[in-house]
Amino acid sequence: MPSRTCTQMELGNFPRLGWADVAPCMATDVRSAIEQVLEAQQGAALSREQCLFLANAEGDDLLGLLVAADLLRSELSGNIITYVVNRNINFTNICFVGCKFCAFSRGPRESDTYFLEPQQVADKAIEAWKLGAKEVCIQGGLPRDLPPFYYRDILRAVKSAVPGMHIHAFSPMEIVYGVELTAMTLRDYLCMLSDNGLGTLPGTAAEILDDEVRHVLSRNKLSTSQWTEVIRTAHTCGIRTTSTLMYGHVETPEHWVNQILLLREIQEETGGFTEFVPLGFVHTNTLLFHQGLSRPGPTLGEHLKIHALARLMLAGSINNIQVSWVKLNRGLSQLCLQAGANDYGGTLMEENISREAGATAGQYTSPEEFQSLIREIGRIPAERNTTYSRIQIKAPFESFPAEPLLEPEFA
């Protein structure tokens, strides 16, 4: 039985610690749970009770969790940190859903609303392609009078303008709305989008997959079962998705555990998730915070813990853990990349949603800035495609030459 002899160190110093430094200082239950995962390299080695120990870890136990997650990351994902060159396109800010954590949406009569026609979305994709983007991430608000086939028409316009662009688009909430607007079945609707150029689906609109919590966050949002139905159906139609969790508002560590276990269960069935992205709640300009319903965003410990917990619980299931640099800012992103994460996300070019909520990280991180931030923490930068099936390591570690970009065919 190890004695707890470490004095509690600052969380920000954990990257300098090794497992041998922290293991003797941890509570037996937490340490043995972590050792089980390290040995099996499988999150499935953990019981739900052990996951809860990890999710509630504090002090030296938390330091141990962070160090173990970084160790497991190096074993499962190596020293490469990936990113994707992409452009975010939010085609409208008009939305009837009214999520209390969202400061991006506007009512239809507000003065600063906007709406892009499919060709305007395609024009942005053309600009992005010229700047080297391989992916466009397209999501927006839900206006009441949306033309029924608007989402399909965006895909057609973008694909016809830039056939080589990967389209990562439409949250499960938008998919449910598209089904409602067209009166198609979910499967037929997803197949239609896929036939018209949809590459992958963002696993956003998940927030916390617990209907009681969802009711506090947004009364009109899709339910937990609708979210999982969209995701499972997309995966079985051959459309891969990301997975997300929003933390730091009204939820508890138990909600994190339940959600990550659910994602692991879906991944075991379908294998369709490409990555997991913890999304820290940005509270500053939100009703949820100003009505006194939430805490003021995550603490440093929560930011680090969720990335580490995800690495351990998802080991062998979803091995790509992404940081959301727009929500974390650059310094904290670097810390989370040393607490289990291995992916920096996208350059974005035009981020709007977190900025409107009060995030200050900016709208764009260039590939060169990603590379320098990655090298600053002693890791190897590599550009990837959306599904991680192609990774190009960047000089001075260049070993796979980049393929030349194809010229877009303009409509």
The least CB distance from residue 177 to ligand SF4, in Å, is 9
User: How far, rounded to the nearest angstrom, does the alpha carbon of residue 295 sit from its chain's CA centroid?
Assistant: 21
Instruction: Compute the distance between CA of residue 185 and CA of residue 188 in angstroms, rounded to an integer.
Output: 5
| Helix residue ranges per DSSP H, 202-322 | 211-217, 224-236, 253-270, 287-290, 300-313
Within 8 A by CB and 6+ apart from 135, the residues are 84, 85, 86, 87, 165, 166, 167, 168, 199, 346, 385, 386
> How far apart are the C-alpha atoms of 321 and 333, rounded to whole Å?
12
81 vs 246 by CB, closer to ligand SF4: 246
Nearer to ligand SF4, 22 or 206 (CB): 206
Supply the minimum distance, in Å, between the C-beta of residue 286 and ligand SF4: 10
Distances in whole angstroms, Cα of residue 255 to Cα of each of 55, 250, 407: 10, 10, 46
CB of 225 to ligand SF4, least distance (A): 18
Q: Is 83 within 8 Å of 344 (Cβ atoms)?
A: yes
**201-221 burial by CB neighbour count: b if 16+ within 10 A, else e?**
bbbbbbbbbbeebbebbbeeb
DSSP class of residue 209 equals S
CB of 184 or CB of 287, closer to ligand SF4: 287
Name which of 162 and 205 has its Cβ closer to ligand SF4: 205
User: Least distance to ligand SF4 from the beta carbon of 95, Å?
Assistant: 3
In the structure encoding, which two tokens stand for residue 248, read together?
């730091």
Complex with ligand SF4: residue 39 or 109, whichever CB lies closer:
109
Report the nearest approach of ligand SF4 to the CB of residue 158 (Å). 20
Q: How far is the CB of 79 from ligand SF4 (least distance, A)?
A: 35
CB 221 → ligand SF4: shortest distance, Å?
6
Nearer to ligand SF4, 48 or 290 (CB): 290
Shortest Å, Cβ 140 to ligand SF4: 7
* Closest CB 220 distance from ligand SF4, rounded Å: 8
Q: What residues pair up with 321 in beta bridges, in sequence order?
A: 276
Give CA–CA dist 86/157, Å, rounded: 18
Terminal C-alpha separation, the chain:
70
What the block records as the tokens of 74 is: 């190096």
Positions in the binding site for ligand SF4 (CB under 6 A):
95, 97-99, 102, 104-105, 141-142, 173, 218
Nearer to ligand SF4, 221 or 394 (CB): 221
CB nearer to ligand SF4: give 78 or 98.
Answer: 98
- Cβ count within 10 A of residue 85: 21
Residue closest to 198 by CA, chosen among 156, 139, 235, 148: 156
Nearer to ligand SF4, 141 or 340 (CB): 141
Q: Which is nearer to ligand SF4, 141 or 381 (CB)?
A: 141
CB-CB contact of 345 with 325 (8 Å): yes
Phi, psi of 136 (to 5 degrees): -115, 135
CB of 381 to ligand SF4, least distance (A): 31
Identify whether the C-beta of residue 122 lies closer than 8 Å to the C-beta of residue 87: no
